[in-house]
């Protein structure tokens, strides 16, 4: 019991308040996608969530803050989440693998934000916050490239093209939101781990 409570406290996002946050973010993303950013009001968002406007304003100062949270919050937090979970004393391949499974864990934990963030990318022709988003995306991509380069330097990986290999890794993880269904099969971290095995060991029969 004590342990379960501690786990719950650590993974703060599982609390009721953040379920609410997740709901606000995904309803907002849906509205931005269908009615456009300009066509969506704070009232619309509150109504879609079935909450009062004052409760909505309790969570967010204005519409731009919601948008910012959808559009870039998730990439920034993804970077920090993954970086914290790389084993310091691990071998370079272990660190590449940890990057992948941590991304899977992040995806599972903040799935509604992740999906909202991807939808925001498509529904925002004016590219609001584009520069900040790209900065965090570049830092996240820079991290996997560095880990791959380390594994080449240590002699664990063959001398592959680092940017392309980084993209292969990110593609496998980023595409998950399009097909993954939480109710069945492997967890996202297990899927990421299997991808690591496929990419590391290859398909070729011995």
Which range, of 3-11, 15-23, 99-107, 193-201, touches a copy of itself by CB under 8 A? 193-201
Residue 129: helix, strand or coil by DSSP? coil
Judged by CB under 8 A, does residue 127 bind a copy of itself?
no
Distance in angstroms (rounded) separating the CA atoms of residues 153 and 204: 24
What does the block give as tokens for 18? 């953040």
- Looking at residues 101 to 120 of the shown chain, list those that interact with a copy of itself (rule: CB under 8 A): 118-119
| CB nearer to a copy of itself: pick between 52 and 153 | 153
Number of C-beta neighbours around residue 183 at 10 A: 4
Number of residues that bind a copy of itself (CB under 8 A): 45
- Stretch binding a copy of itself (CB under 8 A), from 7-15, 55-63, 100-108, 121-129: 121-129
Pick the binder of a copy of itself from 56, 117, 123, 136 (CB under 8 A): 123
129 sits in the region (left: phi over 0; alpha: psi -120 to 50; else beta) called left
Point out which span in 1-9, 12-20, 32-40, 61-69 binds a copy of itself (CB under 8 A).
32-40
CB closer to a copy of itself, 21 vs 26: 26
Q: Does residue number 131 form part of the binding site for a copy of itself (CB under 8 A)?
A: no
CA angle 52, 47, 69 (to 5 degrees): 85
**192, exposed or middle or buried, with CB in 10 Å at 0-12, 13-18, 19+?**
buried
Contact call for residue 161 and a copy of itself (CB under 8 A): yes
To the nearest whole angstrom, how small is the minimum distance from the Cβ of residue 97 to a copy of itself?
11
Nearest CA-CA partner of 75 in 49, 109, 114, 108: 114
C-alpha 135 chain-centroid distance: 15
| Contacts with 144 (C-beta within 8 Å, 6 or more apart), sequence order | 96, 99, 166, 169, 170
Binder to a copy of itself among 41, 171, 181, 183 (CB under 8 A)?
Answer: 171
Whichever of 14 and 36 has its CB closer to a copy of itself, that residue is: 36
Interface contacts to a copy of itself, rule CB under 8 A? 30, 33-37, 39, 118-119, 121-123, 125, 148, 151, 155-158, 160-161, 164-165, 167-168, 170-172, 174-176, 178-179, 191, 194-195, 198-206
């Amino acid at each position: 019991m004590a342990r379960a409570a501690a786990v719950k406290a650590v993974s703060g996002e599982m609390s009721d308040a953040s379920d609410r946050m997740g709901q606000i973010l995904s309803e907002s993303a849906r509205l931005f996608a269908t009615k456009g950013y300009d066509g969506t009001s704070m009232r619309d968002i509150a109504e879609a969530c079935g909450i009062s406007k004052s409760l909505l304003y309790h969570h967010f100062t204005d519409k731009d803050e919601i948008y910012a949270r959808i559009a870039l919050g998730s990439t920034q937090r993804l970077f920090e989440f993954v970086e914290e979970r790389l084993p310091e004393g691990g071998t370079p391949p272990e660190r590449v693998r940890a990057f992948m499974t941590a991304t899977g864990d992040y995806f599972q934990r903040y799935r509604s934000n992740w999906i909202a963030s991807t939808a925001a990318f498509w529904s925002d022709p004016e590219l609001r916050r584009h520069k900040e988003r790209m900065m965090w995306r570049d830092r996240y991509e820079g991290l996997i490239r560095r880990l791959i380069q380390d594994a080449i330097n240590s002699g664990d990986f063959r001398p592959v093209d680092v940017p392309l290999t980084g993209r292969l890794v990110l593609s496998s993880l980023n595409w998950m939101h399009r097909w993954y269904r939480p109710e069945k099969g492997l967890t996202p971290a297990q899927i990421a781990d299997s991808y690591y095995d496929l990419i590391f060991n290859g398909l070729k029969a011995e």
